[in-house]
Amino acid sequence: MSMETLTIEKIGLSGDGIARGPFGPVYVPFTLPGEIAALAVNKDKGTVMSLSGLSPDRVAPTCRHFGPEGENGSCGGCSLQHASDDFYQSFKRQIVLDALKSKALVAEVGPLVTAHPGDRRRTVFTARRTEKSLLLGYNERESHNIVSIVECPIASPGIVSRLATIRTIAAAMAVNAEPFRITVLETAAGLDLAVEGIKALPDRQRRMAVETVLGEKGIARVALNGEIVIEPHKPVIDFGGISVSPPAGGFAQASKPAEDAMAALVTSHIGKAKRVADLFAGSGTFALRIARTARVHAVEGEDKALKALDYAARNTQGLKPVTIEKRDLLRRPLMTAELKIYDAVVFDPPRAGAEAQTKELARSGVKKIVAVSCNPVTLVRDLRILVDAGYRITSVTPIDQFLWSSHVEVVATLEK
């Protein structure tokens, strides 16, 4: 541990300020470029003791739980509430520009599609029972300590207004003092709670959890490790006017406005395509919207998500035929010969990207491709493969789905 006074030079990919220390870079949370920080430095981590020369881009945080002076601790849910909108939005767009440059890719990058407070319909809380109460909130940065929250400006009002209810249900399910996770999804039928990290509920405690849920309003379903504990109402989310009941604990885009923006870019680019493959299709975020105008083959590795997609497709009038295929595309991508029948392909892989699938796509000659990604680093790796095979990037759009974080979604469109 040493005491240093350093100038913050830039913001890193995690949202921390970066200063040049005597032995290399020092990462300093809650700072902005140009600020002078008196720091307690431990290896490459800096803790601010005082700040001077405050940046004109510094603003007051929106949430009482944010930052080193946060109530109940320093909440790790956000990293950039202290930055002005202009600085923050430019930072996120620059992440995409830098990623493209790292692979020598030339593309027109559109303005950031912005996020707003209250947009998040899905969030993940950590909970833990203590001797006196139950903690419910987010972990501190790089810590197992839980910041118990009473507000959350990023989450939807439907979630925030039921924090007490979520806490009551979590308390009924806590079997010991070990922490566990609760993924909360707001649906048209009420909140969908997916609990993970509790191995099993004893029968007595399961009955207690069921009785607790029945005594509370606004809860559609509670599941433990993917298995339904109680489902008073079937959860329903909307994919462009098509109702889907997602599987318990299944993936859903965290923000509906962000999802709608991504879907609009996807459907606009594929245009009048007649046959489309939607790879890593999930529960049908894009496939069901595309099916209004084109035949769709939806490929997904998760069986429950695929069944939800299939059920929605079969029970929605006016859609073109939708076929489904369960397949682990990371290990067994659709091959070039299989892809040749499609006019357009959409792929939205996990953070690791879709390198193997992209190599097959590159050889396929499919006329139009849309790549959707939550990780610009793996996205540009995959785009480089396609460009080297003769594809042209026609647009790149950064989308802010996780407000005040360093994460950015990207939609890239390509043509052969």
Query: H helices of 103-179, where?
Result: 157-160, 163-173
- How distant, in Å, are the alpha carbons of 140, 165, 200, 370 from that of 149? 11, 13, 26, 39
Closest CA to 310 of 318, 115, 321: 321
| DSSP 3-state of 269 | helix
* Whether residue 63 lies in the annotated active site: no
Contact criterion met (CB below 8 Å) for 49 and 39: yes
For residue 125, say whether it is annotated as part of any ligand binding site: no
Q: What are phi and psi of 88, to 5 degrees?
A: -60, -45
For residue 355, say whether it is annotated as part of any ligand binding site: no
Instruction: Give the integer Cα–Cα distance in Å for 262 and 255.
Output: 11
- Single out the catalytic residue among 63, 75, 78, 374: 374
For residue 300, say whether it is annotated as part of any ligand binding site: yes
Q: Using N-to-C axis directions, what is the helix angle for 163-173 and 203-214, rounded to 10°?
A: 160
Pairing of strands 344-347, 368-373: parallel
Instruction: Give the integer Cα–Cα distance in Å for 137 and 149.
Output: 5
Instruction: Give the integer Cα–Cα distance in Å for 25 and 135.
Output: 35
Supply the DSSP string of 302-336, one letter for each residue. Answer: -HHHHHHHHHHHHTSTTPPPEEEEE--TTTSPPPH
Instruction: Give the integer Cα–Cα distance in Å for 107 and 101.
Output: 9
User: Any idea how long the chain is?
Assistant: 416
**Cα–Cα–Cα angle for 157, 162, 165, rounded to 5 degrees:** 170
> What sign has the CA pseudo-torsion 74, 77, 80, 84?
negative
For residue 227, say whether it is annotated as part of any ligand binding site: no
**Binding-site residues from annotation for S-adenosyl-L-methionine:** 253, 280, 300, 348
Residues carrying an active site annotation: 374
Going by the annotation, the residues of the binding site are 253, 280, 300, 348
